[in-house]
Homo-oligomer: A and B are copies of this chain.
Amino acid sequence: MPVRIALIGTGSVGKGVLEVLSRKNTGIILTGVADSRSGLMDPGGIPVSSLLDRKKKTGLCGERSISALKVVTEGEYDILVEASPTDAVTGEPATGYIRAALSRGSHVVTSNKGPVALHYRELSNLARENGVSFRFEATVAGAIPILHTLLDSLGGNEIHALYGVLNGTCNYILTRMAEEGLSYRQALDEARALGYAEADPTYDVKGIDAAVKLVILANTVWKKEITLDTIDITGIDLLTEEAIRLAEEQDATIRLIGEIVPAENLYRLSPRIIPKHHPLVVQGSLNAIIVRTDLAGDLIFAGKGAGSLETASAIIGDILSIRERYAGGN
């Protein structure tokens, strides 16, 4: 049976989801869509290619009279896909949409870090009370299905620790500083030119983005209730070429590493000197994660940490998992 989704947000992530729906037979139908200025609902299914065309030409995905909230509260869908931009301070308006969808008994899949980092406990309780799923694979490590792995596949393991390269922009900058002897400023400009860094890169280079992902991991995998304030954060914006050169002289390099060791109450993000052959020394905009477990030992994961289709991959994975689960059988 096809699963009906309503998509909120048609930026990079939303467009990726629409791309996949238009290219593949996924058994997913779009019955609602909204951007920040317009919305559209059709219980019979919205043709995705013409939607993509319209958005490209007019900048709008639907009608101005239909708000995102209207799509969320009045649309006919099984799963809300919340892909609006992250606001790490308020978590809005995404949290409101998610709350509304869960309350009416719809599943929610989100790529939005704000609601998960700020309100995981409340939202997961709300999902449970309403007998629906709340999933957010796309919020951490892009294409790497790390939450699925830690929360589902490794069930039965205690996860003792997690170490990760969780921000592709910072990793790109550090890679280029080491490879080419660029200054921080030069590498940042290059990252901007290639679209890896935003015009205002503060959120990435000061470590906020990676730290928010640590909050999500801590609160979901370990059921903690920490906030951004709990994380000991050092970004890469004050790093000198000299520091990188010194590391390189020791056959090492510098990476921005997030660490969670709950037994030691350690929640830290900081540039670390690590040996060049260490599994966390991935190149360019890749992400990498090591988890330390009691049964499975150490496991290493690496892959693309961002990107339109890569993030869509995580969202589609969540949608299909929900469909499988509620279909039951085999």
Contact = CB atoms under 8 A, between A and B. Distances in A.
Interface stretch (A56-64, A127-135, A185-193, A203-211): A127-135
Interface stretch (A92-100, A228-236, A263-271, A305-313): A305-313
Interface string A1-29: 00000000000000000001000101000
A298 interface: yes
A195 interface: no
A301 interface: yes
Interface stretch (A153-161, A169-177, A246-254): A153-161
A316 B20 contact: no
Interface in A19-65: 20, 24, 26
Given A153-B153, A329-B131, A295 B321 contact: no
Interface in A288-305: 293-304
Copies of this chain assembled into the complex: 2
Contacts of A124: 330
A202 interface: no
B148 A321 contact: no
A314 B154 CA distance: 7
A279 interface: yes
B330 A310 contact: no
Contacts of A299: 143-144, 301-303
Contacts of A181: none
Contacts of A293: 143, 313
A316 B295 contact: yes
B310 A304 contact: no
Nearest to A320: B155
A122 interface: no
Nearest to A326: B328
Nearest to A155: B320
Interface string A112-137: 00000000000010011001111001
30 contacts: A127-B330, A128-B330, A131-B329, A143-B299, A145-B153, A148-B148, A148-B149, A148-B153, A153-B153, A153-B321, A154-B313, A155-B321, A156-B316, A156-B317, A156-B320, A279-B302, A293-B313, A295-B310, A295-B312, A295-B313, A296-B310, A296-B314, A297-B303, A298-B304, A299-B302, A299-B303, A300-B300, A300-B301, A301-B301, A324-B325
Interface of A: 20, 24, 26, 124, 127-128, 131-134, 137, 143-145, 148-149, 152-157, 277, 279, 293-304, 307, 309-310, 312-314, 316-317, 319-321, 324-326, 328-330
Give the 6 A-B CB pairs with smallest separation, nearest first: A156-B316, A145-B153, A143-B296, A155-B320, A295-B313, A148-B153
